[in-house]
Structure 1
Amino acid sequence: MNKIFLEKGKIKRRINFSQEIIGFWVTAENISRHIKIGQFIHIKVADNTNLILRRPFSVADVKNQDLFFIFRVVGKGTLLMSKLSKNDELDILGPLGKPIEIPQEKNILIIGGGLGIAPLYFLAKNLKKNKKNLFIILGAKSSKELILKEAFKKLKPQKLIFYTEDGTYGKKGKVPDGIPLIFEEEKIDVVYTAGPIAMLKKVKLLLENKAIKVYGFLEERMACGVGLCYVCAVPKKDGGYFHLCEEGPCLSLKEIKL
């Protein structure tokens, strides 16, 4: 069983990707030391009694005792977080979820849309360290919302394709548009994807008949984060449920109903 820590994390650096998309580098020594790829953290603003439930966030990167996560302002909790700055504190629970094991296969396709790009960077960075061949498709509505562009470029993957729906960066279109082209040109063994549910459904549809492994990061709302409340249940293809906070958030798309 994973060791879980509750820490007061101090914001070390704030990055404004856009008015609504913000990233925080936070010092959380124990969580940063123990977190593995695929796991997530549960956060609330420190010493705030108005918001009881924590919010789950995927981790985009880890360096020594610091971890990096990115969020979009969508409700009261994230609005409150968006007003924080350097040296403010967050109440962080983690690491949570099931870690991803580095696959034995060599050729890995990474497909990311919107904020789903965040956990894929942490994954891609570790896959690169393990000498995997990376083929990456990333996209968002616009250039302003296309996060971590330069970070992915520095990984020097075998192929990196960007899409924006308005054509302000890379190719004009949506992320799934690039999937057929990759499979025409490359031999892919394993796929990891994260993004909006509509994108995941499209990826699942395009790849369900291919004899490869396809994994997706699912962004269901979680409450407790430790497997007690069952709010994060995802239906299995053959009956029953996966609980994201324990068995995910990265699951085989071929084993679930979307």
Structure 2
Amino acid sequence: MTVTEVTDVRSAIETLRGLVQGDGADLSVIAIDDSIGTVELALELVDANCAECMLPPARLREVLASSLVQQGVTKYRLVLRDPRGGGAMPGDSERILVLDPTAAVASIDLDAGPDAGSLAGKTVFFRVDALWTSWDIVSQEWERMLTEAGVKVTSFRRTQGLAGADAAAADREYARLVSEADVAIVGLGNCGSCTSWTIKDAAEAARTGMPTTAVVTDQFAALAGTLAGHYQRPGLRAQVLPFPLQNRPDSEVRDIAVEYFPALLTTLGATV
């Protein structure tokens, strides 16, 4: 392995570290082995305030492996030691091998989708969540300003972690409301797990051809970009809000919503 190759791999690993540091975690290098073509990393949760807020083990491994490929690191397999477990190797639950399924970096379509244009007389759909009251406040302020401009607003509250019939029913309701709207605003990406759900739902709306933006806080913007590529929508629009947003006084959050409303319109390519 040449010095340049080592540098490129280590540079890519630094990017991977940034994807988990928003949740207070980190990645350390155990080994880069050119003889067998592996990069072995360990997930460290010492400073993580909420391990449950991170991407689940299987999803995290997929996203990290996908990020390596997006950065052009295609000659190595990723081995990740995750103390949360979820392993597939008997007797070694922390050591997971993720094979790189691609032989080359795929072509990237950075199309952000159509601009929203004038919102007058249109329906704007907000996807909110059950986690962040700050996002409730922001979306309510944006809804107020849109309604005052003659825009119809609908909303859907996503509850993470549903399974079986409940999950299927929620997905059907989400798809129905998306189909009845003209523009989608999906949030909030404010931790690893909720960013994954946000980008997944935003990508689903964008795939219908609808002008769509995900809403994330700046500490999770890089992860949102990686996840957009993972969900095959690398050009997905994203409106970035300040971090931390949660636990600010309500009045301050409302001020942020008002301040960022023009930026939201710009991100969507919209006018009111």
Compute the TM-score of the two structures, normalised by the length of structure 2.
0.31
Greater strand proportion: 1
Larger Rg computed on CA atoms: 2
Greater helix proportion: 2
Compute the TM-score of the two structures, normalised by the length of structure 1.
0.32
